[in-house]
Structure 1
Amino acid sequence: MFAPERLLIPVDFSGASTAALRRGLDIAERTGAEVHVLHIVPGFAPVLGADLDALPEEDQAFFQRVWDRADGELTALLHREQATRVRRVLSFGLPSTVLLDYAQAQDVDLIVMGTHGRRGVRHALLGSVAEEVLRRAEVSVLVVPEAAAGRAPFFHVLVPTDFSLASRMALPIAAEVADLYGAKLTLLHTLEPIPYLSMLTGVTAGTDVSRLLREKAEVQLHQLVANTNGALARAETALVEGRAAEAVVAYADEHGVDAIVMAKHGLHGMARFLVGSVTERICRTAPCAVLVVPVDDDTA
């Protein structure tokens, strides 16, 4: 269910993290969730666990200046954004590690964070911290690009599906997000090109296969919304052709989508490093917020 009780919003005072803060505060207002705003002072990993008093005085003084400055910036940010009902936390260390450890210790069920991906750049970076959190987090992560700043409601929610069990499990979450905002919900399936189809079967037969695949997908999309209620029952369906990640992002851009909801498999072994190329590429380049929901491998 999309009914978070505790939100964690990491901020680094960038425009992207401010966008995430605004979105997180908006969600909290609608759900009554408790909000934790965390700033991590980077660059002090070597002294983690050490007695700071044992450091040379000049190092202690430098650390204190950095800490005080961060504390002041965090206070100013929360004041500007009128974030009065939040738990403010200042910490130091390796950002992704501190963030994930804090989320686990505080029983956080949703992380809302900004991304620094640059659209139009072929190898756009999601941001090393966001990327690590996305890969390792055991709870839902909402990534918010700087371009999506503001607390405007979600008017259009998109949920891509490949008809797998994992993608099906994202449907009720997407419906709950849509219901929360009274938003339009669209289910999207991408028909990816089949290499050498015409060469293997002939042009006419290849066209027939493509048509059959499209017809089958249309039936499956209809079945996903049949006999449901709420936003899912009112959902529209769409079918596009192309590479999955690129097609989803293009659809979101062309149709004014405000949020994309996707599932990822549970993180075991190499899965920690391979979230899924489609999910990660969408998070890097989407023009809107992307909610990534973990799915247990045992059920998916």
Structure 2
Amino acid sequence: MYDRILVPTDGSDPAERAFEQALDLAATYDAELHVLYVVDVSALAGEFDAVTVVDKLEESGRKITRRLRERAESAGVSRVETRVAEGVPYRAILDYAADHDADLVVMGTHGRTGIDRYLLGSVTERVVRKSDVPVLTVRGDEES
């Protein structure tokens, strides 16, 4: 049913929960698991050393994706691809899914409502609305 599952992550609790679901699905369907961390360069406009910030965020992304790869391999999922990318998160996720023929995207959601959702937007919501493949959303706990 699923050959390639994409799970974008930012290291948050909802992303961790989504990873667990994606890991279970990858093991069940013997699917390739793709773990993607996107450095949001659109949020870095300003008068500071953006290069240093991007480098730090990329380093953080590499640590997170490496940790998730190890967890997947320990759980018996042998086909794991990881990537740290730069860009607008929802676009980078959609592009990655299209470029790698993902069958499913599994994403965490913070469950924001009201003014928070309006002001902050939702990467997950944008991916759900624009994706050509199914998107499974996984909510974080009440405190996230």
TM-score of the superposed pair, with normalisation by structure 1: 0.42
The letter of the residue matching 2:75 is: N
1:209 corresponds, among 33, 38, 53, to 53
Q: CA deviation at 1:246?
A: 0.9
Q: Does 1:160 align with 2:8?
A: yes
The letter of the residue matching 1:264 is: T
Q: Which residue of 2 aligns with 1:182?
A: 30
Q: Which has the larger radius of gyration?
A: 1
What is the rounded CA distance, in whole Å, between the counterparts of 2:56 and 2:137 in structure 1? 31
CA contact (8 A) 1:218 1:239 kept: yes
Q: Which residue of 2 aligns with 1:230?
A: 76
The letter of the residue matching 1:244 is: P
What is the rounded CA distance, in whole Å, between the counterparts of 1:208 and 1:166 in structure 2? 27
What is the rounded CA distance, in whole Å, between the counterparts of 1:235 and 1:295 in structure 2? 24
CA contact (8 A) 1:160 1:189 kept: yes
CA contact (8 A) 1:154 1:258 kept: yes
Mapping of residues 1-300 of structure 1, within 5 Å: 153-193=1-41, 194-196=44-46, 199-201=47-49, 206-227=50-71, 228-231=74-77, 234-266=79-111, 270=114, 277-298=122-143, 300=144
1:212–1:266: structure 2 CA closer, same or farther, 3 Å change rule?
Answer: closer
Deviation larger for 211-220 or 280-289: 211-220
Gap runs ≥5 in structure 2? none
Gap runs ≥5 in structure 1? 1-152
CA contact (8 A) 1:175 1:230 kept: no
Q: Which residue of 2 aligns with 1:19?
A: none
The letter of the residue matching 2:6 is: L
Deviations 1:256-284, CA, capped at 9 Å, x for gaps: 111000122357x639x76x521111011
The letter of the residue matching 1:229 is: A
1:295–1:210: structure 2 CA closer, same or farther, 3 Å change rule?
Answer: closer
Q: CA deviation at 1:293?
A: 1.9
Runs (4 or more) in structure 1 with deviation over 4 Å come to: none
What is the rounded CA distance, in whole Å, between the counterparts of 2:111 and 2:89 in structure 1? 21
Secondary structure (helix, strand or coil) at the match of 1:191 reads strand
TM-score of the superposed pair, with normalisation by structure 2: 0.82
Q: CA deviation at 1:224?
A: 2.4
Q: CA deviation at 1:234?
A: 4.2
Secondary structure (helix, strand or coil) at the match of 1:281 reads helix
1:208–1:257: structure 2 CA closer, same or farther, 3 Å change rule?
Answer: same
How many residues are paired up? Answer: 139
The letter of the residue matching 2:82 is: T
RMSD: 2.5
1:207–1:263: structure 2 CA closer, same or farther, 3 Å change rule?
Answer: closer
